[in-house]
Amino acid sequence: MLVAADHQAPFKRALAGVIPARNVLVEPAARGTSVAIAYGVEVIRRRMGDGVVAAMWADHYIKPETGFRRTMAAAIGLARTHHSIVVVGVTPTRPETGYGYQQIGAKVGPGFRVAKFIEKPGAAKAARMVKSGKYLWNAGMFVMSTRTLDAELAAHAPALGRAASRLAALPPKRFAREYGKLNFESFDRVIVERSANVLGVRAQFAWHDVGSWLGLWEAIGGTNSNVLRGNVVALESDRVLAHSDQRLMALLGVRDLVVVDTGDAILIAHRDRSHDVRGIIDELRRRGMHSYL
């Protein structure tokens, strides 16, 4: 498991006693998912030999486990037999503008060929795509063999392939310095969207991206009701996600809001803009307000 630099401490604590410490790889600096995957796969190959690997993010809420296992089994089978990158697609429940989509192409075994990817469409286009039934949300889960990744890196990002091989052999002090020098975009853009060898499988499970407030709201029970946690009172309010650690939070006559009070900071955002919170983080960094991150 590879832990992003931004989340070292909380993930290390959460994983203590669950995953052997040797199997937790930590980025010394956040350098994008393409770097993390290429480096992580190279470490796995050196320790265990060639095989099939899966890359997925920790901020996903998935149930049931049995459906997840069936989906992964189908993806692993396709990755082995077709030497492809296999992506997991989730049946949309709404015309979401904050997610990427994949278009379902010709059937291939238990999956399909991905005709194309569409990144965060506008509201009208997302509504048309969802209504057509020909598109799935791109869940950001990738399954591939180590040899397939080698071939894709050689074709689309040879410098990254060479860097990953070099990094996996470096001692810790030199590794941190060299890792920080890398600069590549996401795995989707560097490899997946450029590849002509991408298959998809439909998720057999419910999925929520709890890296966004809207995804968290849905995962913990939000539909058309409020989700309130902590010291919160809401009157004549609807479709609100609210959390307060200590102070009383009182809401009156509001709708479609995310309100989070952590004691030292308060976030208030429209529910439909929850994917844009990254902009606030970037602004805090620009102002040097790192203690709030």
Q: What is the DSSP string of 18-35?
A: TS-GGG-EE-SS---HHH
pLDDT at 273: 77
pTM for the full model? 0.76
Residue with tokens 């429940």: 93
- Per-residue tokens: 154: 């050689």
Looking at the structure, do residues 96 and 196 belong to the same domain, yes or no?
Answer: yes
pLDDT at 194: 94
Looking at the structure, do residues 93 and 125 belong to the same domain, yes or no?
Answer: yes
pLDDT at 221: 64
Q: Is 10 part of a structural domain of the chain? A: no
Looking at the structure, do residues 94 and 165 belong to the same domain, yes or no?
Answer: yes
Ramachandran angles phi, psi of 98, nearest 5° = -95, 0
Alpha helices in the chain (DSSP H): 8-15, 33-48, 65-82, 123-132, 146-156, 158-167, 172-180, 187-190, 213-219, 278-286
pLDDT at 5: 45
Please tell me the distance from the alpha carbon of residue 1 to that of residue 14, in angstroms, as a whole number: 13
Domain end: 209, 241, 261, which one? Answer: 209
Q: Is 231 part of a structural domain of the chain? A: yes
Looking at the structure, do residues 163 and 260 belong to the same domain, yes or no?
Answer: no
Query: With contact defined as beta carbons under 8 Å apart, do 70 and 64 qualify?
Result: no
pLDDT at 13: 60
Q: Is 74 part of a structural domain of the chain? A: yes
Alpha carbon separation from 271 to 129, 138, 230, 234 (Å, rounded): 22, 21, 19, 16
Q: What is the pLDDT of residues 47-72, one digit of tens each?
A: 999 999 999 887 788 889 999 999 99
The Cβ of residue 49 has, within 10 Å, a number of other Cβ atoms equal to 8
Looking at the structure, do residues 116 and 225 belong to the same domain, yes or no?
Answer: no
pLDDT at 91: 95
Looking at the structure, do residues 125 and 173 belong to the same domain, yes or no?
Answer: yes
Domain end: 146, 181, 209, which one? Answer: 209
Q: Is 202 part of a structural domain of the chain? A: yes
Q: Which residue segment(s) compose the domain that 195 sits in? A: 31-209
Q: Is 54 part of a structural domain of the chain? A: yes
Q: Is 15 part of a structural domain of the chain? A: no
Q: Is 250 part of a structural domain of the chain? A: yes
Looking at the structure, do residues 259 and 201 belong to the same domain, yes or no?
Answer: no
Per the structure, the count of domains in the chain is 2
Looking at the structure, do residues 258 and 203 belong to the same domain, yes or no?
Answer: no
Ramachandran angles phi, psi of 63, nearest 5° = -160, 150
Please tell me the distance from the alpha carbon of residue 62 to that of residue 282, in angstroms, as a whole number: 29
Q: Is 16 part of a structural domain of the chain? A: no
Looking at the structure, do residues 146 and 259 belong to the same domain, yes or no?
Answer: no
Domain end: 182, 209, 236, which one? Answer: 209
Residue 45's domain is classified under what CATH number?
3.90.550.10
Looking at the structure, do residues 100 and 162 belong to the same domain, yes or no?
Answer: yes
SS3 string, 135-171, reads EEEEEEEEEEEHHHHHHHHHHHCHHHHHHHHHHCCCC
pLDDT (tens digit, 0 to 9) for every residue of the chain, 293 residues total? 554 444 455 555 656 667 787 788 888 888 889 999 999 999 999 999 999 999 988 778 888 999 999 999 999 999 999 999 999 999 998 888 888 999 999 999 999 999 999 998 998 999 999 999 999 999 989 999 999 999 999 999 999 999 999 999 888 788 888 998 888 989 999 999 999 999 999 999 988 776 666 666 666 665 567 888 889 999 999 888 888 988 999 999 999 888 999 888 899 988 777 777 778 888 888 888 878 77
